[in-house]
Amino acid sequence: MWYVIQTVPGQEQECAELCRAKIDPALYKEIFVPSYIRKMHFKKQWHDVKKVLFPGYFFVDTEEIDAVLKELAFLPRLTKALRNAELVSPITAEEQKFLSSMLDQKHVMNCSTGLIIGSRICITEGPLRNHYGFIQKIDRHRRTARLEINFFGHPTPVEAGLEILARLTEEEFEKLKADSLETYAEISRCGETEEIWKENSVRIKSGVFAGMHGTLISKNETKDEWRVRISLFESPMEVVFSGEEIAVENN
């Protein structure tokens, strides 16, 4: 179970490392700081930078919270377990499942990419793909999104990395789709064999790209992530779909 430990903002990693060094490893499965990746511009380039997802908190995965808390009391840092009323309680199973779906195995939420089409947000890749409904605000300049999720027993604002590849009107997007469909139809009629079309052809069945075709690049059936290259802009782009959203026509 995941318990949340409060500490001084800015010292999350230091406190987590101290706990890992001082607390008996038999008492816990893991001590970690949930983080996220965002793009930051410095030295004339964009870089991936890791930031703390919940400033002022780190997590302990344990079935022995009472024993862990006893050892925490002897550490020379300000730490306090979050409580539900008078009880020290783990986050709920629903909260843990939701957070796990956003983080990788190292408890990092990677940067997402997407499009803005009219007033709609279309996430093409990344952990926000299934959670775009939580997005409250997008900052294209900072390449971040502001989310509000139910966590710690109340609505909690968090920041996530989000790179918007393009902002289009509905009319512009439909024109690009129509052009792509026309190109595909022409290639099919002529029997041409461009790499993007000739093998692992995919038809997109639902979502904003419905009706388009592309090439299956890779698949992860465990995560239900099917990466497809589609021709929408001047350069092909890759989009991640669920298995229900596509039909693989050739293998």
| Cα dist from 17 to 30, 106, 107, 247, whole Å | 11, 15, 15, 47
* Assigned token pair, 100: 């796990």
Tell me phi and psi for residue 63, to 5 degrees: -105, 0
Neighbours of 216 (CB within 10 A): 19
If phi > 0 it is left, if psi is from -120 to 50 it is alpha, else beta; for residue 145 that is beta
- What is the pLDDT tens value at each position of the chain, 251 positions in all? 999 999 999 999 999 999 999 999 999 999 999 999 999 989 889 899 999 999 999 999 999 999 999 998 888 667 788 776 566 889 999 999 999 999 999 999 999 999 999 999 999 999 999 899 999 999 999 999 999 998 877 889 999 999 999 999 999 999 999 998 887 777 666 655 555 445 688 999 999 999 999 999 999 998 899 999 999 998 899 999 999 999 987 65
| Structural domains in the chain, sorted by start | 2-167 (3.30.70.940), 170-248 (2.30.30.30)
Which of 208, 133, 219, 121 minimizes the C-alpha distance to 165? 121
Taking only the tens place, the pLDDT of each residue in 27-64 is 999 999 999 999 998 988 989 999 999 999 999 999 99
d(CA 219, CA 235): 22
pTM beyond cutoff 0.85: yes
| Cα dist from 29 to 68, 69, 164, whole Å | 11, 15, 37
